[in-house]
Amino acid sequence: MKSWLRIFSFVHALMALLFACAALMLIVVAARMGWDAFIAGLDAQAAQGIIEAVGLLAAAVVALQIAQTITEEEVVRDAHISAPTRVRRFLSRFLVVVVVALVIEGLVATFKGVHEDPVQLLYAASILVAASALLASWGIFIGFNRHAEALEPEAMAEAKREDKKLQ
């Protein structure tokens, strides 16, 4: 069984590396888009290019955060998500980045819709509504999860001890 767990840790490390590489590629593309927009002239079209670059940077943050979360939770801590505390911590780390990225993408889509095609505002609104629903659902989940965590205080203590592995 331990060999299987090592294989899973290796696969998780590989996935984290691929997410980090994807984040770096998105950063390079965003920097190139932003630079091209900047040297083309400081006008409305340049602003739109820079706003799109910000959207790519938001996606890069998500990819990088996923890489970090996978590395810390599955490789360094070698944690196996089963206790309510672990589930909440893992999902919270992931969802905070996803919600922020969705909101940024919604704002980018709003700017695009206002300046290019007002029909796209429906798309932007749906992204923002989805981000709001995700945030509300996450809050409800945390509320329910706190009750489950109260039943297992030793799981929280163990998770805090494992945090020392990251320091």
Q: What's the average model confidence in pLDDT over 101-125?
A: 89
CA distances from 119 to 18, 110, 114 (A): 36, 10, 9
What integer pLDDT is reported at residue 162 of this predicted model?
62
What integer pLDDT is reported at residue 32 of this predicted model?
96
Structure tokens at 19: 């997410």
Structure tokens at 2: 């331990």
What would the pLDDT profile of 89-110 be if each residue is shown by its tens digit? 778 888 888 898 889 889 888 9
User: How many domains, in total, are found in the chain?
Assistant: 1
Range of the domain at 42: 2-166
